[in-house]
Amino acid sequence: MTDLSSSVALFPALQFDLVTIVASAGGIKALAELLPLLPADFAAALIIVMHLDPNTASLLPQILDRMTALAVKDAEAGEAIKAQTIYTAPPDYHLLVKSDRTLHLTQTKKVNFTRPSADCTLTSVAECFGNRAIAVVLTGYGHDGALGIRAIKQHGGRVIAQDPATAAVASMPQTAIDTGAVDWILPIDQIPLTLVKLVQQNGE
């Protein structure tokens, strides 16, 4: 595994370049509590991966857009990651980050019975962003994200899990916690302030 502990900064003024939030069942409600508490000047980029119906057009960007002052869009293949932008994984595609810090969409086989898979996204983020990545695991069924956060941690990034007691479905955050790779276990309303402190106050 490549050691990216000295990853080149995408946004040099920040401690962390990218926050990846993963969720499944109950995720919209959790995001409705989290995103409005992020300030309009939150300077890092964000990726949101949710388990979506592959047979239905996603309204996730439009739904999230009503919750935040940040720009929200479905990820497009080949686009460069920009600050103050939330990228959502489209239905039936794994969303990956390439070494040149651009986004990539693939329909390779399902992982953890789902596509998009949190593990796929988080592993690619870990390999690209190293110690400049933050992962956040919210409510959901199953164990998707557990392998991905191990990769984030192994590459020097930070991991936050929603307190399972505050999650609509505890499986995903609890499985994340059980890996031993989680740095903070927080109720949903404390996650935004922690992200702001990490990203915009140099991780202090």
Instruction: Give the separation between CA 116 and CA 148, rounded to whole angstroms.
Output: 13
Active site residue 24: yes
Within 13 Å, how many C-alpha atoms sit on residue 176's CB side?
38
Q: Which of 177, 186, 109, 97 is nearest to 145 (CA)?
A: 177
From 17, 117, 119, 144, the catalytic residue: 144
Q: Which two tokens stand for residue 75?
A: 């990820």
Rounded to a whole number of angstroms, the distance between the first and last alpha carbons of the chain is: 28
From 24, 94, 117, 124, the catalytic residue: 24
- Checking phi first, is residue 142 left (phi over 0); if not, alpha (psi -120 to 50) or beta? left
Active site residue 94: no
From 7, 17, 51, 119, the catalytic residue: 51
Are the C-beta atoms of 183 and 159 separated by less than 8 Å? yes
Question: Can you name the residues that pair with 176 across neighbouring β-strands?
Answer: none
Active site residue 144: yes
85, with CB counted inside 10 A (0-12, 13-18, 19+), is middle
Are the C-beta atoms of 17 and 43 separated by less than 8 Å? no
At position 72, the amino acid (one-letter code) is V
Active-site residue list: 24, 51, 144
